[in-house]
Structures are given as structure tokens and as C-alpha cells.
Structure 1
Amino acid sequence: MSGRETASGRILVVDDDPTVAEVVTGYLRSAGFTVDTAADGPAALALAGRVRPDLVVLDLMLPGLDGLEVCRRLRADGPVPVIMLTARGDEDDRIAGLETGADDYVTKPFSPRELVLRVASVLRRGGSDRSAGSPVAGVGQAPLAGAGITLDPATHRASKDGRELALTVREFDLLAHFLRHPGQAHGREELMREVWGWDFGDLSTVTVHVRRLRAKVEEDPGRPRLIQTVWGVGYRFEPGGPGEVVPA
């Protein structure tokens, strides 16, 4: 995003460090976003209920309720995208945030410009900001179907055997990519590039999202038949679900 480009959308920044909150808020507003702030978990949930943000930037370590619990409650109330902030570098913390439903994470210390780009990317791919022409954005794209799954990029809704699926932005994007390329093997680097739009990143992010998606579309996530592991390569979506495959 250049200095001449502006974004749109309402962002809720939740961080108990006033310096971090001030810096992040300043960069987001400069990029064109409307920003609200909260300094603890209960205040964040109350404010989210009132203003209905398009995305939440959420610190992991918060007073009152920690970020993981806030994320759980936000996700239970609707499909709002969440980017988790954590001061820890431990992989367990990052994975815990993704498992809870966060769409992305950024580890402190971080570049505020990078965070703005991550926010714009998540919103764009979720359909809240389509100005950059994301390949997953819903404008002009036909519904997808396979293995009892239907997915409509225009309305950002998906269902399996008539039952609506509660998917995060990243899970929706990943499922759309699989449906567009049935039977094709995808490496995690490729999925990071094609689905996340990043040329770099922690590949465990892909692994966690595949696991979460399997939990929502497979009859038995422990013995997946639709989203299969291709050893040494990555994953393949098989609409017919032949054979029994051991998950990664």
C-alpha cells in the first residue's frame, strides 16, 4: 500500500499498552481506516457489540479476559476477522490464536506498516475492501461446489450438505481455493502465496487452517477424505474422497 492509496473499514484495536494502541491507531487512521480502541477484554466485547467492526486487532495478553477468550466470544457472535498481537515468540501461542479462530497474527515487536498491510489483506480477501482486486474477492465470481459443499464468493457464505459452515476469512479462502482446483496437489508455500497473498510467512499457519477446515467439512476429521495430505508436497482436495488418508 503506497502513501497515495487509502483503505476503508472500521477497525477495533484492543491493547492495554497505550503506546502500542496509539501507534497502531495512528497508522491505521493514516491509511484511511476508522479506528476504535479498547484496553481490556470486557471493554472490547462491549464495544464490538456496539460498533460492529470490520476487523479486530487483538492483543493476546489483556486484563479482564485474555485475547484468546475475547477471540472465542467474538467468533461465536459472528465472522468478524481477527488479527492477534502477541509479545511472545512461542509457536504454541501463535497456534493457540489460530486455533481459536484468529485469521492472522503479528508478533511484537512489529512494523506498524506491516500490520496495516495485513489488515488491508484480510479485509480485501474477506470482501470488506475489494478495491485491490483480490483473486478471492467475491465480485463477479460464480458459486463453487463439490463433495456436498457449496460456496458463494459474492455473499461469502458456504454450506455442507445444506448446513451452513461458520468459516473464518482464511478458512473460506482456503476452501474456495481447494474447490477451484480439485484433485490438484498444493504445497504450503503455494497456499501461503495464493490464498494468503504472501511471499513469506510461518507455514504452520497453513497447517493450522487446514486442520480447522477439516474439522468443519470432514465427516471424521481424524480420518480426512476430502482434504488429503500429500506427503512431501502438501494437500489435495478430492471431491470423491477416495481412500483413507492420515492427517498431517
Structure 2
Amino acid sequence: MSWGASASAQTSFSLTPPCAPGLCGASRLGGAAMKPAGAVGDSQYIEVDVAATQLLQSSSEHIAISGFASGHPFGTSGAFSTTAPNGGIGIALGRIDTASHPSCPADPSDSKVEFAIERFAWSDIYGSQILHCVSFDKAALNGVWKVRLGLYVSCVGTACSASATLEDPVTFVQFGAVSSSGIALANPTAARRPWYAVTNFAAEPFNYSATFWVRSESYNSY
């Protein structure tokens, strides 16, 4: 079973958290896929361009993108959904709280953008784990309209690995690359859906937005 770029290529949308400051955000589901009964392993690839330079340079928020999830993390009100963040594996990009996620490099001067592989928990908004985290200078985004993210997740049973890259789609300069293996998939269902999200977790003066252009979504099983 597979579905791919032809179904989702160049889908575009913007996300702005509709909520007051607090633990909330905005999210959108990608294409639907289900792991077939009897399949041993499966994989998912997502490629998306993201315009969010103001969020990445000026806020304490982040963008999150996941594969292998059962649903997306936020409802229409901006509050977390019942089983949020729905057990996928993906990335976080932006400001990541090092107090909760010490695997990210220290950034006391707030001059860096963090980029990480994240294991999203099931029905536990505090249970997600940052597994591999790197950072780059915020100044590297000066004059950059959008960034291109590639995320690949593969699993055999519930043991998974993930890798992701972030680059300038015009110059092809790479801002970061992250990977992790031996990840235990938290999603207990057969659903394998991508989602895209923007947070409002800090007391920001206003809700920051991001625009996404989904270039490719693919799912394969064997």
C-alpha cells in the first residue's frame, strides 16, 4: 500500500494558533494512510517548505511536524485533543525548552534556532521526547523567505528510526541534519497520518504564524 506526492504535492496552508497565551496551538492533518494488517514494516516521507522566519527569529515558539500519528495535536479551539499529541515521530523547529529537553544545546543568549527529532507521546502532552537536537544561528535566516524540510520515518513493528534535514530551497545551504534510531512508536493504532503544527506555549505578545507548502507525502508498507 502506498500513497504519494501526486495526492498532496504543493498543498499550501497557513497556521496561526487561535488561542490566548498558554499551552495551545494550531495544527492540520496530512493525507490518510493505514498500516495494513499483516504488514511487517512501513515508512513515511514528508517534504515541505515552511515560511516562518519571524517565528523562528523573534519568538519562543516552534513548528512541529510528525509522521506515523493517529491524528493531530490541537483542536479548532487551539486546545490539545484528547489523545494529543497522538503518538507520531517527527521534528521540532524553533525555540525548544532546554529545561524540559536537555538534549538540545544550551542557548543562554537566545541566538539559536533548535532543530530536533521528536518522539511524540500518546495521550500525554508532557510526555514527548527530544531525541537528537542541533542548533544554528538565527542570523542564518536573514533574507531567507522559506526553508525546506525533509523527514523520513521507518518502522519494523513498533521499533523505528527517523532522519530529517533542513535547507534553503534556493541556495541549498543546509541548516541542520538530525537522526535517531531505536525509537519506540507510541501510536497504538494502525493510522499513519502526518500532521503540521505551530505552538503558542509561551506568553507571546501575539500568535505567530507559519505557512506550509507540502511538496510530498508518501507512505509504504511491506
Normalising by the smaller structure, the TM-score range is under 0.3
- Flag the structure with higher strand content: 2
TM, length-normalised to structure 2: 0.26
Q: Which structure's relative contact order is higher, taking Cα pairs within 8 Å and 6+ residues apart?
A: 2
- Flag the structure with higher helix content: 1
TM, length-normalised to structure 1: 0.25
